[in-house]
Structure 1
Amino acid sequence: MEKAMLRILYLLAAVLTLAGCSVSKFIPEGQYLLDDVKIESDNKEVKPSQMNTYIRQTPNAKWFSLVKLPMYIYSASGRDSSKWINRFLWKIGDAPRIYDPEAAEESRRQIELAVQNMGYMGAYVRLNEQQKGKKKMKVRYSIHTGEPYVIDHITYDIADSTVGSYLARDSALTRLHPGMRLDVNVLDEERQRITQYLQNRGYYRFNKDFITYQADTTAHSRKVGLTVKLLPFRRKKSDDPEPHRQYTVRNVNFLLDVDFAELSADAIRGMDSIRSQGAMLYFHGKPFLRPKVITDYNRLKTGRLYQSRDVQNTYSDLSRLGILKYSNIRFREELEGDSAYLDAYVTLSKRKNKSVSFEIEGTNSAGDLGAAASVAYTHRNLFRGSETLTLKLRGAYEAVSGLEGYANSNYMEYAVEGSLNFPEFMFPFLSSDFKRRIRATSEVSVKYNWQIRPEFERTVASAAWSYRWSKRRAVHRFDLLDVNYIYMPYRSETFRDYLDMMDERNPLLRYSYEDLFIVRMGYTYTYNSSGAISSKTAQRNSYSIRFNIEESGNLLYAFSKIVNGRPKNGEAFQMANIDFAQYVKADFDFAKNFMIDDRNSLVFHVGVGVAYPYGNSKSLPFEKLYFSGGANSVRGWSVRSLGPGGYRGDTNSLDYVNHTGDIKLDLNLEYRTHLFWKLNGAAFIDAGNVWTIRNREMQPEGLFKFNRFYKQLAVAYGLGIRFDLDFLIIRFDGGMKAINPMYEGRDRYPIISPDFGRDFAFHFAVGYPF
């Protein structure tokens, strides 16, 4: 193994050396390859990283910040464009960046201007060119800030008394204060803040250009007297100045599935109309939404001063109606003497009510291959209130290997599910104002799943009622009621014999294949600092938090205790002669993305979970147990093959049930880099395991203990490839075991003596692991 690795390293070194020599043929005579760019600052208040956006020319990208492999790939090509291999290498590679002195000088000027705008008016930037060999150039930008200009006092020149009184009331929130640097960026942010403030108090026509600054300095001093001046209103430069007008919303009109280039009363004359809650609805034939639904999502109120936040809130609320393709709000001004009015026209365009989708997929469960197909029907406006009904049918087949003593080796699954989503908080006795404020959606769902395996048949029927709402970057989900019924109508004789044999050694195995009720409620909080999680999330520093807590069976247990007094047969209370689960479970996940540059980032993740069965349950339901290993955990192990603790397991096909626990810990560190085209690479280190809270007779090494759990952490390392298709991330990861807590002695540390067949695990997944 070691000799093979050495050969690969020698070959890679030779390829890089030859590729490096071929770069020179793409560098014209008398010009240089831009090898490195660095920014230096003599002031800790001015960070070099802040100035990266002003660099007009950057050197070739490095894989994992080490090797300029994309440039070497490009340089391995020839100059003949008629050859497909050359065109292919040009496409996936990165052409050598030829140093451009003009771009460097422009970068220097932009950095200098940016530093001066921060209040360092006397700042200057030096450009240092350092030739490296005959063909390479290093560039250094040295920032010398000098002393900053500081605001000594602030005065306001506001002739408009009404606007002046508003700003006086808002003075506590100003971003300007004596003693601060004369930072142009902060001055502009203050203009924007004032503009937003006034636009929420009727000043529809106000914009930040009406606010100007005048800075006066005294001789031989860096103290500045700042004057904030409000300019009078002018539509055109040639118009006479006049006071800024406050506008009142006079009429609110909704145009359903119609649009006009010109807004006027004549344009909508002849259309069908109806008035609802002070707003007029115009349509042809019959409105595709109930009038009350539309006006409940309207924040523009007649007779009230114009507020820009009402416009944004109306857009936000209407976006929750899935039947709408888009909405557009326009205003028409009307001046009557000293009064100013706005007539609002809200255009609502609907999307298709109904759609049908088909999906075919391949499955791979621990090496057993299969296929699945599904069809889904969606109705987005079931009761003319943008209620979304979804019905889905799914079928799957898989050839199960490794089983002996069974009549067949086929696994089939049939499932049907339906859900009805309401765009409001559906609950009795709630007022419309409360529903409007909370901005929640409600969902009722039912599912039925039928699994036919060689060993058994299992049906799972469930029904749920949940709520979901979001605020800024946070998403909340509350499962008010989630009922699951697991029914085992058939277990083969061979399988029954196996369960009987394992009953004393591993009661968990039998418990996992018995009839069971799970009646739970739970809450999930998710926050992402960069907004929605997508392939673009990795383009900036960000972090995400996820917290989940759920409980099951407490109400049923209390009811059974009151009615029955004692559990049946002295073991467990039952509902309809079926045991029900009782437990509490909590999970916490945190991930932080550190951007190194526009092509490289470092991501850290920690995940912790604890679940505790009690009362009516000796163990968690199998579906609620934690497992380790797999594409989103410790990637040196396949899914459900690690733990608990130091448990080694056996080769039995049902042993995956034993690789479960009540406590889980995942620690991950991943370096991500853009390679070329749509390919991204990753190098990672994972650590983690699962443990049990109660001692299992056949797994004493799986019990969680504070004085040894850290010694049982499994560690893996590896590389990955990601295909970024914008709408989808396809991921391939290969992990190697580094520390294996299942073994002792030399085998415990496969990083020292790796065995590819024993220690390697390959994973295919969709999306980032965290």
Structure 2
Amino acid sequence: MAIFISACNAVKRVPDGKKLLTKNNIIVNGKSSSDEIASNQMYQKPNGTLLGYKLRLNLYNLANLNPDSTYQAKFKNNPGKYERQAKILSAKQVDRLGQSFLYKGIHEFLKNTGEAPVIIDTAKTQKSLVRLKYYYFNNGFFNVKTDYTIDSISRKKAAVNYNITTGPGFIIDSIRTTISTPALDSLYKTSREPSLIKSGKQYKTSDLEEEKSRITTYFRNHGAYYFQPTYVSFNIDTIGKKNKADLNLIINNNTIQEKDSSRTEPFKLYKISDVNIYTDYSPTNAKSKITDSTTYNNFNLYSYKKLKYKPRAITDAIFVSKGSTFADFRTTLTSRYLNNLKIFNYPSIQYEIDKRDPTAQSLIANVYLTPRKKYSFGTSLDVTHSNIQEFGIGASISETIRNVFNRAETLEISTRLNIGSSKDMANPNNNFFNVSEYGVDLKLNFPRILLPFGTEKIIPKSMIPSTSITSGFTKQRNIGLDKENFTGGIAYNWSPKRNNTAKLDLLNVQFVRNLNPANYYRVYTSSYRELNSLASFYNNNPANLNENGDLIISEGTSGFTSDVTSGNTALTPNDPDFRTIESIEERRMRLTENDFILSTSYTFTKTTKKDLADNTFYQFKTKVESAGTLLTAFSNIASLPKNSRDNYELLNLEYSEYVKAEFDYIKHWDFGKEKVLAVRSFFGIAIPFGNSNYIPFSRSYYGGGSNDNRAWQPYSLGPGSTNAMNDFNEANMKIAFSAEFRFKIFGDVKGAIFADAGNIWNVLDNVIDEKAKFSNVNDLEEIALGTGFGLRYDLSFFVIRLDLGFKTHNPGRAADERWFREYNFGRSVLNFGINYPF
């Protein structure tokens, strides 16, 4: 209320005779302009707003700017008040009271959180005008004229109008070059890279700067070691031209600074005469004597102690080679590869003139490597939140061993323990920590493709290839049916291009063993309630029921289901209730069976994102997976017998067989002023065949949650129009679309408005419920829509996210009751997340 009342007095801190800046108007050739770059030239900007309201200004206006003086003044105006309070509290406490939050702290908070009024300063306005003139001049408007006016809105408020008359934009006419060094002139003329400066294009200073950078990169990648952007300049001639400019690209000779003078000479193109690699360099041993050395493939390897690496392990990471032309990209690629080994600290690559070359056109490359410790021990303590676990505490211990086989391999061993709280799990004793998990993982990484044949022609070392062999074991207690999860595999990773990554999981093994399948109906309570309700009508075996007339878990539930499917009740296969019980039993069988998965997959990711600050990019990811195919081929060749269900087994366990494909596309648009539109589309499908008629739970899809459709809780959306009749709803096909508009509120607090659409369905599997199936395009009417808004707080290293989602279109309701029937706060879903959802 105080903030609201003070809103009518935004000029409370504006001195008499001064004006509060309410708006900057940029008027270009008589028309208002919304050019954000032009707006950023201003030295003064109006106070920030939240949905049009100057929140921070009014917070500042609420603050007492001199709380100490105010506190002392109340005693000066009432001399006996200080003595009376001192008798009750003591003089020291009365003085300290003036520094308390109530008297001072709250005002400091309001002042620091708020924002002082922006008073129009004509000196800063003049400086802004100069910057605007340069901005338009640098965009080709050489005859630009500027002035400003101040429009008074009220007694203490005004807007500044920046009036810009650009005149015609100048077009680049002829382009010529003056390159002093013949070798560079020849390189420039034979370059296949297109110039960024083109005849007929409007002049822009930024184009010239980018051309400088392009030329510098090109020359330095072709031997010009001493070349820098400062050697490139442009001469612009507009004499005798009408709105046109002739451009001369000038590249001078190399300037060599000597003691008290300087001289110029043509640039030289350098070749690499030697590559020296110091494998155990540190500042402390820099002047020590080399004790071990070897030469391998024209690389010289030196060590201050005994050489601990097989030469090829190091030389495979070095792209600077003897006899090659000096090139910056080789230096960068070498640094990337060496960093990827994870056995050295950041490498240092230095060049020096080879004094043995009489032409002085040779460089010696010195690569200094500082090894990390062979053994490193790490611990971590985490507070976690997941789709199933509302709150968890996890601890992990890890050990990393580097250069295991003297070829730059790394071995990582880690163990972890997690205890958590989940309202979705069976919890008869009502314990807060009702779920637990522990496990151990091993990962052995090789900085090369580990195959019995060479792959250099297909995947060259410039793609930074690696091989990882992994294995792991996890045991979960009180989580659903309790599980043991054994995993293992071998995978190959490489980067075809700078922003592209590829991964081939040659073999990925997973064995999931359910430890407590009899607990099924205690976990999946909605299935139990439905089965129990039907048993009240059709059960004819009293042994299936307890004293309350409910089915006994698990003897009674299995007995009743067996009676129904074997025809021992009044139900027949044509009855809808028979099919419902059959569907419940089918799901129980599917979720309680142990799973063995042997799969092969290929994942490709491409992104145009340049860095963390880039908000205009796209990312595409696709994954293709096949499971069980190799085992079936082996079984067929070996003529192995099938079991009673006409399926093959491995170690008395039916293995899964399916094909799976996923496509994920993300696109961001930056509209400036920290306004970003982000969209995501996802499609995934897994089709069982051969040895399987369903997809294992661990490889299926679910809907809802903080990174999916935020108007539904995890696993509570779909499949199809079933209205999430089960506890943990999953299916083998998923479609998802999301759009989110992000904007700045104030400081590090951001806001977002979002819309999430999608659903999951069953297709080509053993699910018999028609509402859960995707049969034709008409089923797209079952796509759910959730809309809402959220807050984000940016902590630099991660973002804390709160989203409130509303069910806008709910396919689980009747067809005429799907739109906006649950669009209220009582049915909304609050999601907590870390980092952006996409």
Q: Aligning the two structures, in what range does the TM-score lie when normalised by the shorter sequence?
A: 0.7 to 0.9
Deviation sequence 1:498-543 (CA, Å, 0-9, x none): 46738722313311211222111112223332246xxx44x63333
What corresponds to 2:618 in structure 1?
Answer: 543
**Cα pair distance change 1:247/1:505, threshold 3 Å:** closer
The CA deviation at 1:48 is 1.8
SS in 1 for 2:11: helix
Any gaps of 5 or more consecutive residues in structure 2?
68-98, 520-552, 562-579
**Cα pair distance change 1:590/1:579, threshold 3 Å:** same
2:225 aligned with 1:204, yes or no? yes
The CA deviation at 1:135 is 2.8
The AA in structure 2 aligned to 1:465 is I
The CA deviation at 1:551 is 1.8
2:172 aligned with 1:151, yes or no? yes
The CA deviation at 1:307 is 1.7
Q: Select which of 33, 43, 57 maps to 1:71.
A: 57
What corresponds to 1:741 in structure 2?
Answer: 811
Work out the CA distance in 1 between the residues paired with 2:724 and 2:229: 69
**Cα pair distance change 1:499/1:281, threshold 3 Å:** farther
**Cα pair distance change 1:260/1:250, threshold 3 Å:** farther
Deviation sequence 1:72-111 (CA, Å, 0-9, x none): 3333322135511122223333333333333333222223
Work out the CA distance in 2 between the residues paired with 1:456 and 1:261: 58
SS in 2 for 1:74: helix
Alpha-carbon RMSD: 3.3
**Cα pair distance change 1:460/1:308, threshold 3 Å:** same
**Cα pair distance change 1:128/1:378, threshold 3 Å:** farther
The CA deviation at 1:641 is 0.7
Per mean C-alpha deviation after superposition, the further-off stretch among 495-504 and 609-618 is: 495-504
Work out the CA distance in 1 between the residues paired with 2:500 and 2:717: 33
Checking the alignment, whether the CA contact within 8 Å between 2:411 and 2:444 is kept in structure 1 is yes
The AA in structure 2 aligned to 1:760 is S
Q: Select which of 243, 246, 268 maps to 2:266.
A: 243
Checking the alignment, whether the CA contact within 8 Å between 2:604 and 2:621 is kept in structure 1 is yes
The CA deviation at 1:639 is 0.6
The CA deviation at 1:627 is 0.8
**Cα pair distance change 1:680/1:287, threshold 3 Å:** farther
Q: Select which of 200, 203, 209 maps to 1:179.
A: 200
Checking the alignment, whether the CA contact within 8 Å between 2:7 and 2:58 is kept in structure 1 is yes
The CA deviation at 1:418 is 1.1
What corresponds to 2:677 in structure 1?
Answer: 602
Work out the CA distance in 2 between the residues paired with 1:29 and 1:289: 77
What corresponds to 2:142 in structure 1?
Answer: 121
Work out the CA distance in 2 between the residues paired with 1:384 and 1:29: 78
SS in 1 for 2:811: coil
**Cα pair distance change 1:104/1:438, threshold 3 Å:** same
Work out the CA distance in 2 between the residues paired with 1:66 and 1:663: 44
Work out the CA distance in 1 between the residues paired with 2:752 and 2:7: 24
Greater strand share, structure number: 1
Per mean C-alpha deviation after superposition, the further-off stretch among 105-114 and 692-701 is: 692-701
Checking the alignment, whether the CA contact within 8 Å between 1:61 and 1:599 is kept in structure 2 is no
**Cα pair distance change 1:293/1:55, threshold 3 Å:** farther
**Cα pair distance change 1:739/1:72, threshold 3 Å:** farther
**Cα pair distance change 1:404/1:762, threshold 3 Å:** closer
2:322 aligned with 1:331, yes or no? no
What corresponds to 1:316 in structure 2?
Answer: 336
Work out the CA distance in 1 between the residues paired with 2:780 and 2:653: 39
2:838 aligned with 1:760, yes or no? no
The CA deviation at 1:375 is 2.2
**Cα pair distance change 1:684/1:174, threshold 3 Å:** closer
The CA deviation at 1:314 is 1.5
SS in 2 for 1:448: strand
The CA deviation at 1:449 is 1.8
Checking the alignment, whether the CA contact within 8 Å between 1:455 and 1:492 is kept in structure 2 is no
What corresponds to 1:7 in structure 2?
Answer: none
Work out the CA distance in 2 between the residues paired with 1:261 and 1:108: 55
Deviation sequence 1:318-370 (CA, Å, 0-9, x none): 12121222111222224554332222222222333312213243567657765
What corresponds to 2:735 in structure 1?
Answer: 665
Checking the alignment, whether the CA contact within 8 Å between 1:355 and 1:379 is kept in structure 2 is no
Deviation sequence 1:47-85 (CA, Å, 0-9, x none): 82343443333333333x543333333333221355111
Work out the CA distance in 2 between the residues paired with 1:152 and 1:435: 44
Checking the alignment, whether the CA contact within 8 Å between 2:806 and 2:823 is kept in structure 1 is no
What corresponds to 2:753 in structure 1?
Answer: 683
What corresponds to 2:43 in structure 1?
Answer: 56
Work out the CA distance in 1 between the residues paired with 2:285 and 2:438: 55
What corresponds to 1:521 in structure 2?
Answer: 600
**Cα pair distance change 1:391/1:71, threshold 3 Å:** farther
Checking the alignment, whether the CA contact within 8 Å between 1:272 and 1:283 is kept in structure 2 is yes
The AA in structure 2 aligned to 1:306 is F
**Cα pair distance change 1:169/1:92, threshold 3 Å:** same
Superposition map of 1:500-515 within 5 A: 501=561, 504-506=582-584, 507-515=586-594
Checking the alignment, whether the CA contact within 8 Å between 1:93 and 1:676 is kept in structure 2 is no
Any gaps of 5 or more consecutive residues in structure 1?
1-13
Checking the alignment, whether the CA contact within 8 Å between 1:60 and 1:68 is kept in structure 2 is yes
Checking the alignment, whether the CA contact within 8 Å between 1:202 and 1:306 is kept in structure 2 is yes
Provide the TM-score with structure 2 as the length reference. Answer: 0.81
**Cα pair distance change 1:318/1:557, threshold 3 Å:** same
Work out the CA distance in 1 between the residues paired with 2:444 and 2:592: 31
Deviation sequence 1:469-506 (CA, Å, 0-9, x none): 23322222221110112223553383475467387223
Checking the alignment, whether the CA contact within 8 Å between 2:425 and 2:478 is kept in structure 1 is no
Superposition map of 1:267-286 within 5 A: 267=287, 269-270=289-290, 272-286=292-306
Work out the CA distance in 1 between the residues paired with 2:479 and 2:268: 78
Superposition map of 1:490-509 within 5 A: 490-492=516-518, 494-495=553-554, 498=557, 501=561, 504-506=582-584, 507-509=586-588
**Cα pair distance change 1:602/1:80, threshold 3 Å:** farther
Provide the TM-score with structure 1 as the length reference. Answer: 0.87
What corresponds to 2:512 in structure 1?
Answer: 486
What corresponds to 1:447 in structure 2?
Answer: 472
The AA in structure 1 aligned to 2:362 is Y
The AA in structure 2 aligned to 1:392 is S
What corresponds to 1:423 in structure 2?
Answer: 447
2:275 aligned with 1:252, yes or no? yes
2:321 aligned with 1:301, yes or no? yes
Work out the CA distance in 1 between the residues paired with 2:718 and 2:779: 11
SS in 2 for 1:465: strand
**Cα pair distance change 1:27/1:446, threshold 3 Å:** same
**Cα pair distance change 1:595/1:192, threshold 3 Å:** closer
SS in 1 for 2:634: helix
Superposition map of 1:550-565 within 5 A: 550-564=625-639
The AA in structure 2 aligned to 1:57 is Q
**Cα pair distance change 1:73/1:604, threshold 3 Å:** farther
Superposition map of 1:539-688 within 5 A: 540-564=615-639, 567-650=642-725, 655-657=726-728, 659-688=729-758
Q: How many residues align?
A: 741
Work out the CA distance in 1 between the residues paired with 2:718 and 2:224: 64
The CA deviation at 1:250 is 2.3
Deviation sequence 1:670-710 (CA, Å, 0-9, x none): 23233445433333232222122148766322222445434
Q: Select which of 17, 22, 44 maps to 1:35.
A: 22
2:414 aligned with 1:392, yes or no? yes
Checking the alignment, whether the CA contact within 8 Å between 1:499 and 1:510 is kept in structure 2 is no
SS in 2 for 1:393: strand
Work out the CA distance in 2 between the residues paired with 1:663 and 1:217: 64
Work out the CA distance in 1 between the residues paired with 2:427 and 2:246: 92
Deviation sequence 1:698-734 (CA, Å, 0-9, x none): 6322222445434322222333333322222222323
Higher Cα Rg, which structure: 2
The CA deviation at 1:745 is 7.4
SS in 1 for 2:219: helix
Deviation sequence 1:259-296 (CA, Å, 0-9, x none): 56999xxx565554333332333332234544322222
